[in-house]
Amino acid sequence: MRIALPALIVLVSLHGSAQTPALKEAFRGDFLIGAAINTRQTEEKDTAAARLIPRQFDALTPENIMKAEIMHPAWDRYNFDPADKLVAYAQRNHIKVNAHNLIWHSQLPTFLRRMQDADSVRAYFVNHITTIASRYDGQVYSWDVVNEALNEDGTLRNSIFLKKLGPDYIVEAFRLAQKAAPHTRLYYNDYNIEQPKKRAGAIALIKKIQAAGVRIDGVGIQGHWKSGNVPLAAIEASILEFSALGVEVMFTELDLSVLPNPWDHNTADVGQVAANRAGMNPYTNGLPDSAQDLLASSYADLFRLFLRHKGKISRITFWGIDDGMSWLNDFPIRGRTNYPLPFDRNYQPKKAYFAIIATKNP
């Protein structure tokens, strides 16, 4: 029996109830439900988040603490403490960790950005992957081995790794990770790879890794889209084309912005910024019902699509726990008030949450 959305809202308490399951329970057997988590949440300093996270999610991705600038701040020094705390937190709560990430062109340590010598970059590359991946093998479920290596046209991004190590650096990253972490799933992660040109580049990349005899277990489509304008046809085509390669498909950084896009294109490149102007921050006093409804219907459309292909999808991860911690409050314009996630700034479930749950009762 299909439950009308208003009735479903009445039935559910703050983080789910006996009548309506939590997200991870609703989709158990379909795919993991994950979220990005920050250090305040890992250390359980936020009591509301501490109650919500183990109730709602069975997978976590560290938002920043396993990125190179934090984990490997100096040539001969690693900072493992925040990641160790994350792993311990996940183990206590029986949650799987997707480690994020080993190789990315952004958020690099200062010493690496200043390197000019290719041999030094290669030494960093080998030591970084080997040291970190081996340390957490068997403790984390998976790694985003390489993150955002493609341009919008599907060609390789002109990163320090491409310039200093050449076009085979991605294959080599997976080869090193496979050796260092034989018990860990290995993924490629990127945004906009549901779009045809960039998708073709990702497919070529996966095939190249496979042809080299190197293991790649899955591909993560980030899912930074716009409420009311989710590219469902392109997403479905991507699920089919990527899964045909014999790899898992995941949606790894899902959020649906409700704010105006200052550009005529979609990007999640953190290096791009836009100037604020009139009309760019319309919901500082709250999200109106019409926008709440549009967000809810957009999430429902997405999850109905995910459920149609649940045998091909292994994980859905929201990029954040609640609206207040979303990176979209500061991207691509700083200081805006966005509402892209199923939980609001007080960790209360929104209409979007109930719409997602309701897709299990068509």
3-state secondary structure the chain: CCCCHHHHHHHCCECECCCCCCHHHHCCCCCEEEEEECHHHHCCCCHHHHHHHHHHCCEEEECCCCCHHHHCCECCECCCHHHHHHHHHHHHCCCEEEEEEEEECCCCCHHHHCCCCHHHHHHHHHHHHHHHHHHCECCECEEEEEECCECCCCCECCCHHHHHHCCCHHHHHHHHHHHHCCCCEEEEEECCCCCHHHHHHHHHHHHHHHHCCCCCCEEEECCEEECCCCCHHHHHHHHHHHHCCCCEEEEEEEEEECCCCCCCCCCCCCCCCCCCCCCCCCCCCCCCHHHHHHHHHHHHHHHHHHHHCCCCEEEEEECCCCHHHCHHHCCCCCCCCCCCCCECCCCCECHHHHHHHHCCCC
> How far is 223 from 220, CA to CA, in rounded Å?
9
How far does the chain reach from its first CA to its final CA, in angstroms? 7
- Does residue 1 form part of some domain? no
Q: Quick one: pLDDT at residue 19?
A: 58
- Please identify which residue in the block is written with the tokens 């792993």: 87
- Does residue 23 form part of some domain? no
Which positions are catalytic? 148, 253
224 φ, ψ (degrees, to nearest 5): -90, 90
% of the chain exceeding 90 in pLDDT = 87
- Does residue 357 form part of some domain? no
> How far is 115 from 128, CA to CA, in rounded Å?
15
Residue 197 has pLDDT above 50, yes or no: yes
pLDDT digits (tens, 9 = 90+) for 130-185: 999 999 999 999 999 999 999 999 999 999 999 999 999 999 999 999 999 999 99
> How far is 161 from 105, CA to CA, in rounded Å?
8
CATH code for the domain of 152: 3.20.20.80
Residue 22 has pLDDT above 60, yes or no: yes
Domain membership of residue 70 as a residue range: 30-344
Q: Quick one: pLDDT at residue 277?
A: 78
Q: Quick one: pLDDT at residue 265?
A: 77
Residue 15 has pLDDT above 70, yes or no: no
Contacts of 309 (CB under 8 A, 6+ apart): 236, 239, 240, 243, 249
> How far is 41 from 21, CA to CA, in rounded Å?
22
% of the chain exceeding 70 in pLDDT = 94
- Does residue 272 form part of some domain? yes
- Does residue 229 form part of some domain? yes
pLDDT digits (tens, 9 = 90+) for 229-261: 999 999 999 999 999 999 999 999 999 999 998
Kindly list the distances between the CA atom of residue 103 and the CA atoms of 10, 22, 204, 268, in Å, as whole numbers in the listed order: 45, 33, 19, 17
- Does residue 352 form part of some domain? no
> How far is 142 from 90, CA to CA, in rounded Å?
13
**In the chain, how many domains are there?**
1
> Contact, 107 vs 326, CB < 8 A?
no
Q: Quick one: pLDDT at residue 236?
A: 98
What is the rounded average pLDDT for all residues in the chain? 93
> Contact, 33 vs 59, CB < 8 A?
yes
Amino acid letter, 188 = Y
What pTM was computed for the model? 0.93
Residue 329 has pLDDT above 80, yes or no: yes
> How far is 136 from 83, CA to CA, in rounded Å?
9
- Residue 157 class from Cβ within 10 Å (0-12 exposed, 13-18 middle, 19+ buried)? middle
- Does residue 11 form part of some domain? no
pLDDT digits (tens, 9 = 90+) for 35-84: 999 999 999 999 999 999 999 999 999 999 999 999 999 999 999 999 99
Mean pLDDT of 219-229: 98
277 φ, ψ (degrees, to nearest 5): -155, 170
Residue 312 has pLDDT above 50, yes or no: yes
Of the candidates 78, 55, 199, the one whose C-alpha atom is nearest the C-alpha of residue 134 is 78
Kindly list the distances between the CA atom of residue 49 and the CA atoms of 14, 15, 45, 53, 79, in Å, as whole numbers in the listed order: 12, 10, 8, 6, 25
- Does residue 328 form part of some domain? yes
